[in-house]
Structure formats: structure tokens, C-alpha cells
Amino acid sequence: MRLLFCHTSIPLQHSQIISNSKPPPFLIPNFDLNKTLIRILSGALSLGLLTSSPSSNSLALESPSFQSPLSSFSEYCREEDLVEDSGPESDVVTNEGIVEEAWEIVNDSFLDTSRLRRWSPETWQRKKEDIKSSSIQSRSKAHDIIKRMLASLGDPYTRFLSPDQFTKMARYDLSGIGINIKEVPDENGRMKLKVLGLVLDGPAHSAGVRQGDEVLAVNGTDVTGKSAFEVLSSIQGPNETSVTLKVKHGNCGPIQSVLIERQVVARTPVFYRVEQMENGSTSVGYMRLKEFNALARKDLAIAMKRLQNMGASYFILDLRDNLGGLVQAGIEIAKLFLNQGDTVIYTVGRDPQYQQTIVADIAPLTKAPLIVLVNNNTASASEIVASALHDNCRAVLVGEKTFGKGLIQSVFELHDGSGVVVTVGKYVTPNHKDINGNGIEPDYQNFPAWRDVEQRLSRCKYAQQG
């Protein structure tokens, strides 16, 4: 079974991609959108974190920091680390086994976030007994049973994926070269950055990168201490240009530098400019963030520094119509504004791995007063940023109530190549408010004077200290 952790960032009924046209001034409440299907994930998910077993062909988008020590002769070498995925064992798994596998996943991980609380261990156990008491004659019948079983949970985001749908999801590529990178501990607890999944016949695979390889450097720069998210961002570049990866094959294999031609590129989601406000006496740095992709954090930091050099003493972050994207990118962007030690977000789930407190671990790029523009299409990763900045007294929110999408889904592969998407957790703001289904209320509906912004932020900080 393959497992991909996914943070949902795209509301089901609002699947769309923001156009690359120049945005209107920030005082205009809405943007024009090209309403198209989200590029992947059937319109419901935008990946914030993908992890997988060594047999996965998925793409890892986020992991904690790691160290990349060289192997010693005493390190245990496992040849199976070098074996690539041979595919699901559809010829040996039974129809009843596929249904029971899906049942077990829900039983172990599902978090019921509905107000009706339809799921309980007792009712779910009865479904398993029903499965065991019947004979399932075909694979399509097994899939239909799984669909009905998941539908009974009453969760619009928990659903079945056909083998074709799962394959499309697993090929989601942030790197542009078709690899999955994740930090993996060795026997001594030290972390290594490993290739745990390849897009077969993709650029990296064709160039000689293999399952289990350890990534040591990108374009000659040592990646020790960097996260998978940071490394994936550094691998990206213009289409048909090249990137050089230094990899060590397996645990004890040779070290090799591999030249790989990029085939996919993420476009910058950041637009910025300086605005003169209040009769030209105030320089404001306006930044519009269209989505949270692997370039978002890096490009927004560049924009902030350039705006500061241009004289900006106040900032506006426009998250209107931003439906989300990579949740880890949202977390990293929130950290650009927060003081070290401030809480970014809490995650809640039945499994301990989903019970986390995420805090800022770097100094902010700016402490200037900040306005965040939001509307009812501000969702998921955007809501994480907005709530983190608001609850830590770093920004006021202006506009409309946000969408209210704060769930975490995991995508599990079943043994016949199909899959299930299961809600496993949710986000809670630093002030312990549940985002999902509630959204975030703005402080102002209309654009306030900057002196009002400063006074409100000052009162907020005073209240927190007192």
C-alpha cells in the first residue's frame, strides 16, 4: 500500500486556476478568473505534503530539516532499497481483500469533522462484518462497494480513486524532473534526503537516478540541512534547461553527478508594486499571491526585499481568490512575517502524526504594519497564512469572510492500483479556532486608514501581553 499525505487546498465547488493577467488595483474587491479544472487531483486536493514508501511514484513536497551524512562501512546496506516499484499485485489480491483494505484505512485514520458525527467504531465494525458475509464477484463490484462505504461517512472529501485517477495523482511533479524526495532516518536516527519514487521514463529516471538514491547536492550546492521542499524549489527552472544532481546510489553505492533536462516549470505566483497612498505621503508595498506553489516563498521574499529597497514602509498581502496550493509553502510564507517562536498553526487528528504545533523558527523579514486582503475564495493555505498573521497581531484582515477549508487528506494506494482519499486531520488557528466550515472573519470590510491599522495591531499586542 502506498500512502501520500495531502493537505487539501482546493474547495470542491471552486476548482479554478487564476489567470496570469495583470491584477487590478487592490481596492477593487474581485478578480476575473479563468474557471478551469485544477490541473490534478480531481478538483478537490492541492498537495501540501506527499510522502511515500520506497515503492511510490509520488512526489514529496514537504518534510522537516535533515542532515546528509556520508555512509560509513558499518552502515547496513539493503539491496532492496535499489529495487524499483514492480507495480500493484492485482493478480493475487482478492476482491474482498481490496474492500477490507479500504475499510482498515478508514478504521485507522479517518477523522469525522462533520457536525452529524456519522462515524463510530461500532457502526464501522458492522460494515466489516457485512463485507465478510458476502461474496464479491468482480473488481468493479468491489470498487462500487468501496464507493458506497466511503459515501456513508458523509465527508465530501473522502472518496475512491480508480486506478487511472490514482496514477494521474501519483505523477504530480513539482520538481520538473519527475522525482519524489523525502527525508528518511538511518539506523542511527540521522536524516538523509532520499529519492523515494520516480516517474518512470521521466527526466531523472532516464538520466540514471534510481529509487533509494540519496541526494547530496544540486548544481554543486550541498543540500545538507535543507528540507525536501527547499531542494525541490532549487531543482526547478525554465523548461528545457538542465540541472545537475549529485546522488549516492543506494546506501553503499557509488556517488555520481547526473545532468538532467527539466521538462516542467512552475511559474511565479507573485505580482508586486509600490503604491503611493494618503496623498503620496505613504509608500505601500503591494504583493498579490495567486497560489502557493514551490516558488511562492522564494519569490515573495524577493518581492518584499525589493519593495523595502523602493521605500515601502507598509505592506499589503493580497490573498483574494487564492484557493491555496502547497500548504508547506503557506507555512513558510507566514514565517516571513512572524517573530521566532510564534505559532503558525495547529494540526489535529486521531493519529499522533497529525497532532502538531507548527511554530516560526526564523526572524521575520519585516515588522512593518501589514494588511491582508481576503474574500470568500480565500481558502486553505491562504487561510493558514491569514489566521497566523492575524492571531499573532502581525496583520489586520480586510475584505470578506474566507471560505473555511481546513482539512488534511491522505491518499492511500490499494493493492490493485486504485486508491482512497481519506480525511485524517484538520487545522486550528493560533487562537484555537477551527478553520473548516467556519472561515475567518475580517477586521474591516472596507480599506482602513494606516493609522487605524497601527492602533489596532498595537492594541492586539498589548492584549496578548496582558
Take residue 404 and report the three cell numbers written for it: 473555511
Name, in order, each residue with C-beta under 8 angstroms of 327's C-beta and a sequence gap of 6 or more.
Answer: 7, 9, 48, 49, 62, 292, 380, 381, 384
Separation of first and last alpha carbons in the chain: 51
The answer to whether 273 and 284 are in contact (CB under 8 A) is: no
> Residue 256: CA atoms inside 13 Å, Cβ hemisphere, count?
14
**Residue 42 bears catalytic tag:** no
The answer to whether 418 and 143 are in contact (CB under 8 A) is: yes
CB atoms within 10 A of CB 234: 17
Take residue 453 and report the three cell numbers written for it: 491599522
Take residue 17 and report the three cell numbers written for it: 486556476
> Residue 237: CA atoms inside 13 Å, Cβ hemisphere, count?
14
CB atoms within 10 A of CB 457: 18
Spatial distance between the Cα atoms of 240 and 263, rounded to a whole number of angstroms:
6
Q: Which of 380, 382, 387, 418 is catalytic?
A: 380
How many helices (H) and strands (E) would you count in the chain? 10, 17
Spatial distance between the Cα atoms of 145 and 84, rounded to a whole number of angstroms:
31
Name, in order, each residue with C-beta under 8 angstroms of 302's C-beta and a sequence gap of 6 or more.
Answer: 270
Element (H, E) at 215: strand 214-218
Name, in order, each residue with C-beta under 8 angstroms of 217's C-beta and a sequence gap of 6 or more.
Answer: 223, 245, 246
**Residue 405 bears catalytic tag:** yes
Spatial distance between the Cα atoms of 296 and 9, rounded to a whole number of angstroms:
15
Give how far Cα 443 sits from Cα of 82, 115, 315, Å: 54, 27, 16
The answer to whether 101 and 107 are in contact (CB under 8 A) is: no
Q: Which of 246, 298, 405, 426 is catalytic?
A: 405
* DSSP H helices in 115-243: 121-132, 139-151, 163-170, 203-207, 228-235
Spatial distance between the Cα atoms of 191 and 65, rounded to a whole number of angstroms:
8
Q: What 3-state class would DSSP assign to 43? A: helix
Enumerate the active-site residues.
380, 405
